[in-house]
Amino acid sequence: MQQIELSYAIAPRRHGRTLIRNPLMELLHAVREHGSISAAARAVGYSYRHVWGELKRWEQTLGHPLVTGDQGRSAQLSEFGDKLLWAERQAQARLAPQIEALHADLERAFALAFDDSTHVLSLHASHDDALVLLRAHAAATARLQLDIRFTGSVDAISALNQGRCVMAGFHTLERPPTGSLAQRTYKPLLKPGLHKIIGFARRTQGLIVAPGNPLGLKNLADVAARRARYVNRSIGTGTRVLLDELLERDGLAADAIDGYARHEPSHAAAAHAVAAGEADAALGIESAALGAGLGFVPLVQERYHLACLKSALEQPAIQALLVLLRGAAWQHQLGTLPGYESASSGEVESLSTLLPWWSFKPKKSHSSAKA
């Protein structure tokens, strides 16, 4: 395996997303976009001589040509240059949650070091674009740093119960039925009287497909019948639970889905697999599909929940979050994200209200009078 050493810098967020930047990849992207070395040099803010020298130095290091064409006006990426750029973009898509977590670590460290009035809230959560947007909004408007670790829904609630975070983010169908897989998965982890749920958002999940939906997929039955190449989400993620729940509801076996065993760690990575032509479909959120220029077939609506211990509700960081979520500014921002809308944002609700899996027998009344 070829060993390549690349250095990255964490760049400021653009549109709520953290970027990591590498000078070589920026040069290759600029050459592909602008079609000449001189135009690429202007785009990245370096001299023609510097860009030309860097490309030649990297060609010698890597042992492959990166650009083709004369040293003059026109240039394009070689096949190797295209493949190298594609591989790097794929790696970034797959590592996006980890990159976001690294950025949050740095923000948290400096917030604690330099600003005593800044609140920090540790949150383990199923990957969600609205949470990425909320983190930027909270830091900019509420002096609140959300220290988010993106993980599966099951792992997030487990982390909450083990004291490794203050809040957990997970998602279920709008009204998960009694006896469903969601009940069997989440009920053992959540206890009425111990946990509370804070309303966050309603979002749409569906099939992420190629532009124009060339296979005409309308549901999971079509995915199975047409042997569409599917890419799944990791075990323990809420979207994996949702897929299994929908398969169970529709009477489909897991082995009916071609690619059920293949998985990606986030909605963005699953969408990238479809965009790269490695898969025909994935279950995911609409914003991930549209962000990758793909088609989207809506299937179900979900509620994204934030869970915490009842005893933690009065903590300053949680109180700051509740105020933020109830505000018109945040709810407007949430509405700009495709497939999302406010759903009791910032309202503290009981488990039995949103997840009606518990039934409690009324307490017997004790009368002092005897018949």
* Contact assessment for residue 200 and residue 325, using Cβ atoms and an 8 Å cutoff: yes
Average the pLDDT over each of 169-173, 212-216, 340-344, 354-358 and give the range with the smallest value. 354-358
> Residue 13: is it exposed, middle or buried by C-beta count within 10 angstroms (0-12/13-18/19+)?
middle
CA-based radius of gyration for the chain? 24
In angstroms, rounded to a whole number, what is the distance separating the alpha carbons of residues 257 and 224?
A: 5
Q: CA of 87: how far to CAs of 29, 93, 219, 276, 347, in Å?
A: 13, 10, 31, 10, 43
CB-side exposure of 132: number of CA atoms within 13 Å?
Answer: 25
310-334 burial code (b ≥16 CB/10 A, e <16): eeeeebebbebbbebbebeebeebb
Report which DSSP code applies to 258: T
Helix (H, G, I), strand (E, B) or coil at 73: coil
Computed over every residue of the chain, the mean pLDDT equals 89
pLDDT at 350: 85
The predicted-structure confidence for 66-107, as pLDDT tens digits, reads as follows 999 765 568 889 999 999 999 888 888 888 888 888 877 777
Measured at the CA of 20, the angle between CA 166 and CA 167, to 5 degrees, comes to 10
Does 227 score more than 70 pLDDT? yes
Average pLDDT over residues 357-369: 55
Mean pLDDT across 37-45: 90
Per the structure block, which two tokens stand in for 219? 């549901």
- Condensed to tens digits (0 to 9), the pLDDT of residues 145-168 reads 899 999 999 999 999 999 999 999
DSSP letters for 302-342 = EEEEEEEEGGGTTSHHHHHHHHHHHSHHHHHHHHTSTTEE-
pLDDT of 74 reads 82
Q: Which of 111, 124, 131, 112 is nearest to 268 (CA)?
A: 131
In this structure, of 172-181, 243-252, 290-299, 354-363, the range with the lowest mean pLDDT score is 354-363
**Mapped to the 3 state alphabet, what secondary structure does 175-244 carry?**
CCCCCCHHHHHHHHHCCECCEEEEEEEEEEEEEEECCCCCCCCCCHHHHHHCCCCEEEECCCCHHHHHHH
Average pLDDT value for residue range 318-328: 96
pTM (predicted TM-score): 0.68
Phi, psi of 236 (to 5 degrees): 95, -10
**CB within 8 A of 125, min separation 6: which ones?**
131, 148, 149, 150, 151, 156, 167, 168, 169, 170, 306
Coil, helix or strand at residue 124:
strand
Sign of CA dihedral 189, 193, 199, 200: negative
